[in-house]
Structure 1
Amino acid sequence: MAAEHTLNVDKVFYALGPMGRYQCLHLLLVSLGVFPALIQLLDNVFIGSAVDHSCARPEDNTSSPLLLTASPNHTLSYEECHIQVKDANDSVVEEFTCLHGFEYEGPRTQSVVSQLDLVCDKEQLLRVTQTLVFSGQAIGAIVGPYFSDRFGRKLTLVFSNLIMLVLGLTIAFAPNYTVFAIAKFFIGAAQQSVYIPVCIYTGELLPTEYRRYSLIINTVAWSLSGLTMSLVAFLMQDVSWRYLQAVLSLSSLVFIVHLW
């Protein structure tokens, strides 16, 4: 029986220098990949902020024929999700859905919620897109490591970030909910194909004794990513959600750094 040989890679790391400038530089540069990974995972918090709304009134300032009741004493109340017909005692006589669409406080473009009318009976659709992101992550958690082992960490990081950039901009200019939702699913897969190789790559740079530092750096990068995204969203709170999404998606340009 052939003798079994065990390779202790840590000896190679110590011979080369376990924690020098090379490792520190690579840890910092590779950990930048955490930024787009977190941003595309949580950006719904900012681009999908809740917007105060109510049922829209008819454009000609007259009531719909469906709302004309027999009594002239009835009044119309335009609520968030219903148009209520009330009598003189302020009691609801009849109730209708928002027949003429919705009115929003502030510009319609301030949130994807108001842009795509994801309110009332469609309110859950925004939450569905976050579920689609998580579903895409499940796919990415399988595909990402395979490509990372098969084609290398660097190529997987660069290619996945490029995909996230394209999908992020697709979301920013999505003409309808269907395009928005599909892009969210695939961006979830790309997100895992970025984050998992980042964690693996940073761990492989160091011998066992020092690998805790890679975890610390990735955790700090994750926290800084959230703070950075919050700051950008605050500074862009008065512009369209589409511009905010586009700017956040530009974080995937970090793949240019990874090319080096």
Structure 2
Amino acid sequence: MSTEDLIEKTIGRFGKYQTWILILITIGRYPTEFQLNNVVFIIPAVEYQCLDDGVFNATNYCPCENPKYDQSTIVSSVTSEWDLICDRTAYASFAQSVIQIGILAGSLFFGHISDRFGRKPAVLMSLLFEAVFVAISAVVPQFWMFLFCRFLIGTAVGGTMLCCYVLLIELSGKSFRAYLTGLHEISFITGYIILAVIAYYVRDWRKLQLVTSVPWLAVIVYYWLIPESPRWLLTMGRKKEAISILIYIAKKNNRSIDDIEVIVSREEEASKQKDQKPVSYLDLFKTPNIRIYTVIAALVWMFCSHTFFGVNQYIGRLQGNIYLNVILSAATLAPGLILVIIGTRFLKRKTSIIISFTVAAMSLLIFIFVPSNIETLMLLFAIIGLTGAYTSFVQLYLFTSELFPTVIRNSAMGFSSMFARFGGFVAPFVVNIGVEWISILIFSSIAFVAALLCYFLPETKDIVLLNSIEQTEVNKHKIIQ
């Protein structure tokens, strides 16, 4: 197998055209980032005075039939509109978590769409559906309709999180993937901050949903702006289309187009993918190496998600201005992107991820022994733990995309993301055990286990992305390196 990367050799590792696609996807993903972080604004815990007879305007009194909500911070929310208080607080919790169920379904659905029908249709569908579903959620009259919309929003979130990343990875050369891992997260960090600014001025939840969705219906024009992945086209035996797209991008990047057809023919012959059959999630378990990678990757994603969302529960309990707190939460994650780029650029993949998990685990262990009256120090180690889990999560996207061949790459990431949702589901229950040191010890132990599991996966730094299952099974990388 050639060590030369088809993309890097023909269109450059990451030229002007790929930068343009990154900008488009960063902008198009904002509704997804808003929905991942807007729970604090649209389904918040609320303060109210109970105006029932004989209650004497008691604050947060239950049961209460006539609450008067505090509107000094948020004028209208899902919580206040449908009175999700007292014995209805479970509905508020479900409204928060149902999006995770949608992400699980969307990861599987769009992962299959992407591998079966192409990266481009999966990206376009998920971006457009995200804006549409959020806009619909802003006008529904019934709570159950809102819940259904939240599920649909989650399916689109799952699609954009996976499919946009894979398209960018497959359009970039192998030497640029370390940088792309951090650049891809710009939308999450900036979206987190932008949301707080928008929410400060738009304090009605319905208007907030409309403002953060309707403008993005314009992503429909991406149909004419975003290309199909040449790597995927080759795996499907669509050589002419792959050559046409590579020539177009090469011209945009001011690169020579003279040898593109020869290079593609050589790559096609090496990968032997002319007669590639449609794939499914069953292909993740049919061959020995892929099967081992699938099981370990799924567990690592689940443990990483469990740790990240669990620790985030503690960070989310900061006192003070809600809008400022959201901005500060985003700011604490920003340095992690620099660490990710440094780690993926100068360290091996496994080494970098194992270090991130270990930092998370160790900081949480130290957190247990910090006296509760030293709040600043507790917050410091909690943030270090959160950053360790976050950087692990970011790097897992790159590591997993390199582990699996093009033909099942999205399916593998969708399957792993499904397990990540399970980890996120369980995290709140661990947080609410009631004994803080037990909760933190569980999160720390899980992070240690994730680090250990990563050891049993092959190193992938600087490899050429494999296209076929056969290549993955016979390549020189061993299970343990």
Corresponding residue number in structure 1 for 2:22: 27
Q: After superposition, what is the alpha-carbon deviation per residue over 1:52-73, rounded to whole angstroms, capped at 9, x for unaligned?
A: 212224xxxxx5xxx6xxxxxx
User: Whose strand fraction is larger, Structure 1's or Structure 2's?
Assistant: 1
**1:171 paired to 2:137:** yes
What one-letter code is carried by the residue in structure 2 that aligns with 1:47? Answer: I
Among candidates 176, 184, 192, match of residue 158 of structure 2: 192
Corresponding residue number in structure 1 for 2:36: 41
Shift of residue 82, structure 1, vs aligned partner: 4.2
Cα 1:16–1:158 change in 2 (3 A) is closer
Give the number of equivalent residue pairs. 223
**1:105 paired to 2:84:** no
- Identity value in percent: 27
Corresponding residue number in structure 2 for 1:234: 200
What one-letter code is carried by the residue in structure 1 that aligns with 2:47? Answer: D
**1:205 paired to 2:171:** yes
Residues 80-229 of structure 1 aligned to structure 2 (within 5 Å): 80=59, 82=61, 97-98=63-64, 100-106=65-71, 110-229=76-195
Higher relative contact order (CA 8 A, sep 6+): 1
Cα 1:196–1:251 change in 2 (3 A) is farther
Shift of residue 17, structure 1, vs aligned partner: 2.4
The normalised TM-score by structure 2 is 0.43
Corresponding residue number in structure 1 for 2:45: 50
Corresponding residue number in structure 2 for 1:255: 219
User: Whose helix fraction is larger, Structure 1's or Structure 2's?
Assistant: 2
C-alpha RMSD over aligned residues: 2.3
State how far apart, in whole Å, the 2-side matches of 1:12 and 1:222 are: 27
State how far apart, in whole Å, the 2-side matches of 1:109 and 1:194 are: 31
State how far apart, in whole Å, the 2-side matches of 1:189 and 1:221 are: 19
SS of equivalent residue, structure 2 residue 68: strand
Cα 1:25–1:236 change in 2 (3 A) is same
Higher mean alpha-carbon deviation, 11-20 vs 210-219, is at 11-20
What one-letter code is carried by the residue in structure 2 that aligns with 1:248? Answer: T
Q: Is the 8 A contact 1:27 1:214 kept in 2?
A: no
SS of equivalent residue, structure 1 residue 19: coil
Shift of residue 109, structure 1, vs aligned partner: 5.5
State how far apart, in whole Å, the 2-side matches of 1:147 and 1:33 are: 19
What one-letter code is carried by the residue in structure 2 that aligns with 1:28? Answer: I
What one-letter code is carried by the residue in structure 2 that aligns with 1:209? Answer: S
Q: After superposition, what is the alpha-carbon deviation per residue over 1:21-47, rounded to whole angstroms, capped at 9, x for unaligned?
A: 112212222233331221122222111
Cα 1:190–1:24 change in 2 (3 A) is same
State how far apart, in whole Å, the 1-side matches of 2:19 and 2:60 are: 55
State how far apart, in whole Å, the 2-side matches of 1:114 and 1:48 are: 8
Q: Is the 8 A contact 1:168 1:245 kept in 2?
A: yes
Cα 1:47–1:12 change in 2 (3 A) is closer
What one-letter code is carried by the residue in structure 1 that aligns with 2:158? Answer: Q
Q: After superposition, what is the alpha-carbon deviation per residue over 1:204-227, rounded to whole angstroms, capped at 9, x for unaligned?
A: 111111112221111122101111
Cα 1:106–1:30 change in 2 (3 A) is closer
State how far apart, in whole Å, the 1-side matches of 2:4 and 2:163 are: 20
State how far apart, in whole Å, the 2-side matches of 1:123 and 1:217 are: 38
Shift of residue 171, structure 1, vs aligned partner: 1.5
The normalised TM-score by structure 1 is 0.77
State how far apart, in whole Å, the 1-side matches of 2:120 and 2:18 are: 15
Q: Which runs of 5+ in 1 are unaligned?
A: 1-5, 58-62, 68-75, 84-96
State how far apart, in whole Å, the 2-side matches of 1:12 and 1:104 are: 57
SS of equivalent residue, structure 1 residue 131: helix
SS of equivalent residue, structure 1 residue 51: coil
Q: Is the 8 A contact 1:34 1:218 kept in 2?
A: no
Q: Is the 8 A contact 1:39 1:225 kept in 2?
A: yes
State how far apart, in whole Å, the 1-side matches of 2:61 and 2:8 are: 68
Q: Is the 8 A contact 2:26 2:186 kept in 1?
A: no
SS of equivalent residue, structure 2 residue 172: coil
Shift of residue 244, structure 1, vs aligned partner: 0.8
What one-letter code is carried by the residue in structure 1 that aligns with 2:82? Answer: L
Corresponding residue number in structure 1 for 2:296: none
State how far apart, in whole Å, the 2-side matches of 1:80 and 1:178 are: 28
Q: Is the 8 A contact 2:137 2:209 kept in 1?
A: yes
Shift of residue 121, structure 1, vs aligned partner: 1.4
Q: Is the 8 A contact 2:132 2:217 kept in 1?
A: no
Q: After superposition, what is the alpha-carbon deviation per residue over 1:186-211, rounded to whole angstroms, capped at 9, x for unaligned?
A: 21111111121111011111111111
Q: Is the 8 A contact 1:10 1:208 kept in 2?
A: yes
What one-letter code is carried by the residue in structure 2 that aligns with 1:194? Answer: T
What one-letter code is carried by the residue in structure 2 that aligns with 1:258? Answer: Y
**1:79 paired to 2:79:** no
State how far apart, in whole Å, the 1-side matches of 2:121 and 2:17 are: 20
Q: Which runs of 5+ in 2 are unaligned?
A: 226-481
